[in-house]
């Protein structure tokens, strides 16, 4: 194998890793939003509190995604 082929394989593996790093948080955010919508339907008077908690949960989940992608860039390069 020459260096060009090896670089191509490394890039493809890194792309797969970035994709996998985004799947988990995507599922997590879907669960968070779904459960919040369900909670709002059951108790509409708690809507603002539920939305605040949902956005905090989404922010933490997105931070994990960004950390996974940044870590991939740090160790791949």
Closest C-alpha to 57, from 33, 22, 23:
33
- The enclosing domain of 30 has a CATH number of 1.20.20.10
**pLDDT confidence band for 70 (50 / 70 / 90):** confident
Supply the pTM of this predicted model. Answer: 0.68
- pLDDT of 11 higher than 70: no
Residue-wise pLDDT tens digits, 16-64? 777 777 788 889 899 999 999 999 999 999 999 999 999 999 998 888 8
DSSP tally for the chain: helices H, then strands E: 2, 0
**Domain count across the chain:** 1
Residue 12 lies in domain? 3-76
- pLDDT of 3 higher than 80: no
Give the separation between CA 51 and CA 73, rounded to whole angstroms.
33
In degrees, rounded to 5, the angle at the alpha carbon of residue 69 between the alpha carbons of residues 61 and 73 is 160
Q: In this structure, what DSSP letter does residue 44 have?
A: G
Lowest mean pLDDT among 54-58, 65-69, 73-77: 73-77
Q: In this structure, what DSSP letter does residue 77 have?
A: -
């Amino acid at each position: 194998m020459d260096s060009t082929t090896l670089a191509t394989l490394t890039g493809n593996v890194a792309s797969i890793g970035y994709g996998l790093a985004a799947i988990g948080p995507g599922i997590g955010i879907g669960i968070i939003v779904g459960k919040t919508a369900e909670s709002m339907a059951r108790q509409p008077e708690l809507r603002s509190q539920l939305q605040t908690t949902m956005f905090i949960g989404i922010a933490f989940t997105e931070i994990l995604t960004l950390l996974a992608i940044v870590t991939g860039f740090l160790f791949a390069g």
